[in-house]
């Protein structure tokens, strides 16, 4: 018997490669808090919700390993997501309702509420694009649209990242300033909303990085301490590695942190160049010509 917590609100008939947190496998708890993908037959209409504890039997399918030199290793890719394979399941039944952390259940309900409101308010194509930009939810987004974003080098807009966090902070600061809320209270409110956004978006790596760094920066202002950008980066990376050490080899993690470090280093260089009076005179002379 496999016991697991469902991560998503769907009918069983829609569970194609959906993720489950494992509690035990045939009484063995060694795989607890890891994940499995599950496939079921489309005619299965069992009603399940996020956080339900379910029981099922099925055949385990191990992921494919690297077959060619420097080829794609599907097993290693899944390992970085703490996923250990796929199960073709049957005889699924709900054991207990809503057994996970109530905060996670609330975050999931909030996500579904936002998703439903957007789908009701906007036309289908616009709603799918809005969900992708706001929450990184691209499941229903047309593949051609995603390809167009990739071709125009704007695919990062469809993946929640530091850009989204910066927009949230900027928007909140403007709104709170208009409502004459003090700086310290504004920063506390912003930290709470950023953490909530991190839960709603499912702890995307780039969001976790940006949220931790932003919260440390805001907290330094609350406690009247100087913020150190390198300390913020180190703490966010440490938290991610503690959660899953295999992520240290993930390309997305390396690019996310590499890009952030590059921005910090080169922004200082460019700022110093622009503040150089001789360089300003040269640029001014060039424009006059």
Quote the pTM value. 0.74
DSSP element (H, E) containing 55: strand 53-61
- Specify whether the CB–CB gap between 6 and 48 falls below 8 A: yes
Determine contact, residues 222/184, Cβ cutoff 8 Å: yes
pLDDT at 57: 76
Written as six digits, the tokens of 272 are 């110093």
Cβ–Cβ under 8 Å, residues 12 and 40: yes
Half-sphere exposure at residue 102, Cβ-oriented, CA atoms within 13 angstroms: 0
Provide the residue-wise pLDDT of the chain in tens; the chain has 289 residues. 333 333 333 333 333 334 556 665 666 666 666 777 777 766 666 677 777 777 777 777 777 777 777 777 777 777 777 777 777 777 777 777 777 778 878 888 888 888 889 888 888 888 888 888 888 888 788 888 888 888 887 777 777 777 888 888 888 888 888 877 888 888 899 999 999 988 888 887 888 888 888 898 889 888 888 888 888 889 988 988 888 888 888 887 888 888 888 888 887 777 777 676 666 565 554 444 4
4 membership: H or E segment, kind and range: strand 2-6
């Amino acid at each position: 018997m496999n016991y697991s917590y469902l991560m998503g609100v769907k009918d069983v008939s829609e569970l194609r490669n959906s993720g489950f947190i494992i509690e035990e496998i045939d009484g063995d708890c060694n795989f607890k808090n890891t994940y499995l993908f599950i496939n079921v037959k489309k005619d299965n209409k069992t009603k399940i919700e996020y956080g339900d504890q379910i029981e099922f039997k099925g055949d385990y399918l191990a992921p494919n390993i690297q077959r060619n030199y420097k080829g794609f290793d599907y097993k290693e890719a899944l390992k970085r997501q703490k996923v250990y394979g796929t199960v073709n399941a049957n005889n699924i039944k709900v054991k207990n309702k809503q057994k996970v952390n109530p905060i996670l259940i609330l975050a999931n309900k909030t996500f579904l509420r936002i998703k439903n409101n957007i789908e009701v308010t906007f036309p289908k194509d616009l709603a799918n694009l809005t969900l992708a930009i706001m929450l990184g939810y691209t499941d229903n987004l047309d593949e051609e649209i995603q390809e167009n974003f990739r071709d125009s080098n704007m695919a990062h807009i469809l993946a929640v990242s530091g850009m989204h966090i910066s927009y949230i902070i900027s928007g909140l600061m403007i709104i709170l300033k208009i409502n004459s809320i003090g700086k310290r209270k504004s920063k506390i409110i912003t930290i709470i909303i950023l953490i909530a956004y991190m839960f709603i978006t499912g702890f995307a790596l780039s969001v976790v990085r940006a949220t931790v760094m932003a919260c440390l920066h805001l907290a330094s202002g609350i406690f009247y301490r100087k913020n150190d950008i390198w300390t913020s980066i180190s703490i966010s990376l440490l938290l991610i590695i503690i959660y899953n050490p295999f992520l240290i080899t993930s390309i997305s993690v390396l690019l996310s942190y590499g890009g952030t470090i590059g921005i910090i280093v080169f922004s200082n260089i460019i700022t110093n160049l622009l503040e150089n009076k001789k360089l300003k005179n040269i640029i001014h002379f060039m424009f006059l010509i």
